[in-house]
């Protein structure tokens, strides 16, 4: 069934890209990973992920920037992919305030280069692309109040440049599907957590703060609902999506967007208390977290979570991992990666 599959994963040194690459390699599918190893967060973590991947004979890595046209063509020539999973992007909402250029370069120019390479894939490497799967984000829902967030809802009021680039990616992919018949599936990821995760995300920085004995701020006294999805569940969903191209829509365009997340939101307080317990259990911290309970902040949304009905109906996607289990796995990894709380500030 995996015969002849060749997958190119952009952002392979990233959190989701690493875990997806590992899963495919374990299933005997060759992976070519691409990443520019930028220093948006700790490069050692990206290198550590690559080191683990390089233990597989079927893994090849190309260090390149997705906005570099020649490098991307070379990469296609080398990988001859029939499936591309495009995860490389400048992520993070706050960073887009201080470094807007990075978002234009990676998320717009870079995304365009990937689309162009997919369009010309046959000329570049003699291999027609059968499916492009690309990362979008729940941030496209902006400050929508209606929950759960559904792909049927309007998503044209972004509240960050990051969100605006992700929404643009969906439109660009749609246009390329329409114009050049590239089957493409966009995945709106909701918050993903787990081992080898992203240090810029809240659960990771809460952990760092607990280690340093700093205060954790809980707005609306922690009474805010969010959905969190464990990385293995996300990877299972992505693998399912990769296996089948979308049906043509009402305009005959082979493009579809799914939410990929969890439809069981947790309160922030419960999340932090579970994280705290797991970190105590694994010896990452030896004293309770200092929590600061604060009122709701203007602009905060009380609850957000994903409507994942489409993904469930089309692919049988159903997250399996509970918070206790998932956060314990994260804590065990953290304890090993940053032994004796020696993590640099
Ligand atoms: N993790 C989440 O909770 C989450 C939520 C919503 C959306 N997403 C999206 O999913 C995708 C993967 O996210 P992640 O959490 O693994 O992020 P990540 O930052 O860990 O991984 C992205 C990788 O892309 C690489 N990259 C960035 N710009 C590049 C460029 N110009 N050229 C080549 N490589 C480049 C980075 O070095 C990084 O290793 C991203 O597109 C992100 O926007 C993730």
Does residue 175 come out as left (phi exceeding 0), alpha (psi in the -120 to 50 range) or beta? alpha
Report the run of H or E that residue 326 belongs to, with start and end. Answer: helix 323-337
Does domain 202-227+264-303+320-341 fall into CATH 3.90.25.10?
Answer: yes
Q: Is 103 an active-site residue?
A: no
- Please state the rounded mean pLDDT for residues 96-111: 96
**Does residue 345 carry a pLDDT above 80?**
no
Give CATH 3.40.50.720 domain extents, the chain. Answer: 7-192+231-260
Q: pLDDT above 70 covers what percent of the chain?
A: 98
What whole-number distance in Å separates Cα of residue 333 and Cα of residue 44?
15
User: What secondary structure does DSSP assign to 303-321, as a single string?
Assistant: B--B--HHHHHHH------
Catalytic annotation, pick one of 40, 95, 162, 305: 162
Residue-level pLDDT at 340: 62
Specify the domain boundaries for CATH 3.90.25.10 within the chain: 202-227+264-303+320-341
Contacts of 340 (CB under 8 A, 6+ apart): none
When pLDDT is averaged across residues 287-309 and rounded to a whole number, the result is 90
Nearest atom (ligand 1) to Cα of 67: 31
Fold of 7-192+231-260: Rossmann fold (3.40.50)
Looking at ligand 1, which atom is closest to the CA of residue 201?
3
Place of tokens 């020649």: 70
Of 278, 296, 280, residue with least CA distance to 288: 280
Spell out the residues 6+ positions from residue 138 whose beta carbon is closer than 8 angstroms to its own.
149, 188, 189, 190, 191, 259, 261, 304, 306
Statement: residue 287 has pLDDT above 70? yes
What is the reported pTM? 0.97
CA 107 to ligand 1 center in whole angstroms = 10
Mutation choice for ligand 1 from 14, 163, 170, CB with most ligand atoms inside 8 A: 14
Q: Residues near ligand 1 with C-beta < 6 Å?
A: 11, 13-17, 35-38, 46, 65-67, 87-91, 106, 110, 135, 137-138, 189, 191-192, 198
Pick the residue whose CA is nearest to atom 12 on ligand 1.
Answer: 87
């Amino acid at each position: 069934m995996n015969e002849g599959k060749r997958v190119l994963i952009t952002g392979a040194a990233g959190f989701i890209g690493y875990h997806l690459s590992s899963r495919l390699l374990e299933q005997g599918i060759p992976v070519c990973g691409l990443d520019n190893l930028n220093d948006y967060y700790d490069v050692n973590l990206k290198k550590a992920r690559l080191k683990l991947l390089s233990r597989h004979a079927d893994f090849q890595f190309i260090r390149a920037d997705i906005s570099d046209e020649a490098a991307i063509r070379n990469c296609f020539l080398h990988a001859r992919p029939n499936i591309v999973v495009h995860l490389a992007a400048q992520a993070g909402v706050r960073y887009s305030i201080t470094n807007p250029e990075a978002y234009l370069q990676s998320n717009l120019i870079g995304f365009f280069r990937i689309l162009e390479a997919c369009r010309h894939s046959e000329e570049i490497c003699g291999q027609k692309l059968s499916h492009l799967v690309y990362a979008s984000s729940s941030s496209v829902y902006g400050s929508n109040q209606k929950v759960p967030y559904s792909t049927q809802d309007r998503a044209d009021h972004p509240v960050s440049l990051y969100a605006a680039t992700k929404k643009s990616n969906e439109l660009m992919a749609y246009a390329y599907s329409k114009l050049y018949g590239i089957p493409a599936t966009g995945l709106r990821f909701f918050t993903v957590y787990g081992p080898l995760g992203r240090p810029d995300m809240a659960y990771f920085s809460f952990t760092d703060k607990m280690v340093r004995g700093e205060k954790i701020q809980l707005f609306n006294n922690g009474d805010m609902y969010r959905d969190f999805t464990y990385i293995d569940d996300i990877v299972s969903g992505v693998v399912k999506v990769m296996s089948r191209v979308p049906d043509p829509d009402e305009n005959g365009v082979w493009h579809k967007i799914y939410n990929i997340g969890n439809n069981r939101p947790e309160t922030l307080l419960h999340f932090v208390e579970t994280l705290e317990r797991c970190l105590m259990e694994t010896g990452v911290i030896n004293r309770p977290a200092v929590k600061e309970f604060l009122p709701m902040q203007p602009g905060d949304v009380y609850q957000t979570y994903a409507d994942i009905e489409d993904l469930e109906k089309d692919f049988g996607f159903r997250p399996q991992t509970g918070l206790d289990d998932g956060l314990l796995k994260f804590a065990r990894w953290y304890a090993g990666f940053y032994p004796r709380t020696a993590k640099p500030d």
